[in-house]
Amino acid sequence: MKQTIFLGLCCITLQSPADTLRAAEKPNVILIVCDDLNDYVEGFGGHPNAVTPNMARLAASGVSFTQAHCNIPICGPSRASLFTGIYPHNSGCYGFTKWDTYEVLKNSRTIMAHFRANGYQTLGTGKLMHHMVRQEWKVYGNPADYGPFPYDGTNKIAHPEVPAPFRDIGPVDGSFGPLVSHTGIDFASQSLQWITGGWANQRPLRVDSQQDRDPTADELNGTWAVENLLNRASKPDGQPFFMGVGFIRPHTPLIVPKKFFDMFPLDSIALPVIRPGDVEDTFAKTIRGIPDGHEPDSPRSEDMGTKLFTNLVASYDSQEEALKRFIQAYLASVASVDEQVGKILDAVNNSPLKDNTIIVLTSDHGWGMGEKNYLYKNSLWQESTRVPLIVRVPGLAKAGGVNEQPVSLVDLYPTLIDVCGLTGETKKNDKGHSLDGHSLKPFLTDPDTDQWSGPSSVLTALYKWRMKYDPSKESYSLRGRDWRYIRYENGKEELYNTTEDAHEWTNLASKPEHSSRLAGFREELAARLPSPGVIPPQPVWKAKQVAVKKDAEYWKNEFFKKHPSADTNKDGTLSWPEFKTHKAKVDALKNQSKK
């Protein structure tokens, strides 16, 4: 035993000087991930009213990828793909089941685990991966927090300034408005207060005035990042670090301090260009679920994006007013995040970290703003798939560079390996999967180069809730420089010439003159996906009864998120008796309000 310990200490002693030397030569990395951020960022052409001077400042010191896209346009699986560098069709992770229950993903290193294996300290805060696995990070600041929420003493509710029927969607997706004093007229008249925190552990958020209030979750995360950066700046010879910073906005509820709303007067808000009837030649509605008890050929159920759009418009006097109010809240939320990005930039630029710290800013997916009568993520159109992507690598990336090659979030992991000089296999064993992406380094040094090892088009999958996913039977998009091709699970197709039709208004899939192009996209998609019947190992459901129980548990947990006060014994979990009792009260109140 003593000999073993002695040998171990000798190994540590012998390895430490070399490790320290290599560590000192390696750059630090800050990965900033915003939630639901589309192209409403200065320099990305998404909205003329966007105010993001700090993101623009970051872009001026790095390379902007103006056709970067996600690999699945909804939070959980998109983040699983981003942080593991593996496509959904290779991992099987298309949905919200915990990412580390997928055999491929749990046997592959996350990006932070690989950095840690290369001598880095990994630290993070905020919303980075869904279902955070604590051991993936050496240091972690604050958990994901979707607040603030108005609270009536029993339940979280939508912002009181939001009218029905949109507010009836709930306190997350049906809510937007300024963070104002709880003594204000709308709050005082309803005896409301603010709360924030995780789903099960929430706390009051004091807002006595705009100048005298508790910090929001994003402000806490910005402060945490700055404090840790300044601490490391004071130790220039210390261990290199990989820092993840996850900002929740502009995810709903779009509630941020009033000063950000004041930046965007309603009468100044430009509306997105929406073509009436644009949805008519699309086929997304043909795969959006079948109501229980109906035949397959019956009308499909309304999905979330259509529901949000329809209810928002119904809540105001006109579609124009409805969209202006929502876009005002979205732009305000983006501006609030930009302020935190500025604090991080200042901490780096005004310290010894400046010349040896890589900064990446992106989002998990985009967001549609009424185009095709759709107000949400999770579509295969440009508004949902496109994300801002800015990469700054001191001494390497061309300052102010702009690249238009379609690239995707799965390319970030191999890019950081390349520019940081990391070594080693990212698979833990043969059950894992190698990285699917390609390094963007050639574009960092020369944004105009055509010398890149990656594919000519970006592959994006569509989320749909299932018990089991067959990659050959899901819906996908291929986005190239000049074209977007969409193939839905039922075989229906869309084809857009994005050079001539940037808004993707005209579906050309039925035009005979494009038959050869369609055939080419079909071949490309088939070549990039597993063969029919080849299904990555999925989380195992032991029996049908267990699956039903887990499904019910999922919805009970969703109810708990919206109604934390249902936990009457305050033990942090919602029992079935507590659920049934509180749901009966909620249903009774709903029925009473309808009378």
Give the tens place of pLDDT for each residue, 436-475: 999 999 999 999 999 999 999 999 999 998 888 999 999 9
Residue written as tokens 């300052």?
399
Provide the CATH number for the domain formed by 25-98+146-212+229-237+256-539 in this structure. 3.40.720.10
Read off the tokens for 335: 């501006």
Q: Which amino acid, 159? A: H
For the question of whether the overall pTM of this predicted structure is more than 0.85, the answer is yes
| pLDDT, tens only, 87-102 | 999 999 999 999 999 9
Read off the tokens for 140: 């972690």
| Per-residue model confidence as pLDDT tens for the chain (595 residues) | 333 333 333 333 333 333 333 344 799 999 999 999 999 999 999 999 999 999 999 999 999 999 999 999 999 999 999 999 999 999 999 999 999 999 999 999 999 999 999 999 999 999 999 988 888 999 999 999 999 999 999 999 999 999 999 999 999 999 999 999 977 778 888 889 999 998 778 899 999 999 999 999 999 999 999 999 999 999 878 899 999 999 999 999 999 999 999 999 999 999 999 999 999 999 999 998 543 333 333 333 468 999 999 999 999 999 999 999 999 999 999 999 999 999 999 999 999 999 999 999 999 999 999 999 999 999 999 999 999 999 999 999 999 999 999 999 999 999 999 999 999 999 999 999 999 999 999 999 999 999 999 999 999 999 998 888 999 999 999 999 999 999 999 999 999 999 999 999 999 999 999 999 999 999 999 999 999 999 999 997 654 444 444 456 677 777 887 888 887 766 667 877 778 778 877 776 765 654 4
Residue written as tokens 């050309």?
508
Output the pLDDT for position 110: 98
Output the pLDDT for position 593: 54
Distances (CA, A) of 232 to 241, 259, 451, 578: 9, 32, 37, 47
Residue 531 CA to residue 336 CA, distance in Å, equals 45
Contact 498, 483 (CB under 8 A): yes
Residues facing residue 299 across a β-bridge = none
Distances (CA, A) of 210 to 176, 182, 202: 17, 11, 21
Output the pLDDT for position 325: 98
Residue 536 CA to residue 538 CA, distance in Å, equals 6
**Upstream peptide bond of 148 is cis (omega within 30 degrees of 0):** yes
Residue 110 CA to residue 406 CA, distance in Å, equals 24
Output the pLDDT for position 60: 98
Output the pLDDT for position 568: 75
Read off the tokens for 533: 């019947």
Q: Which amino acid, 354? A: K
Output the pLDDT for position 292: 37
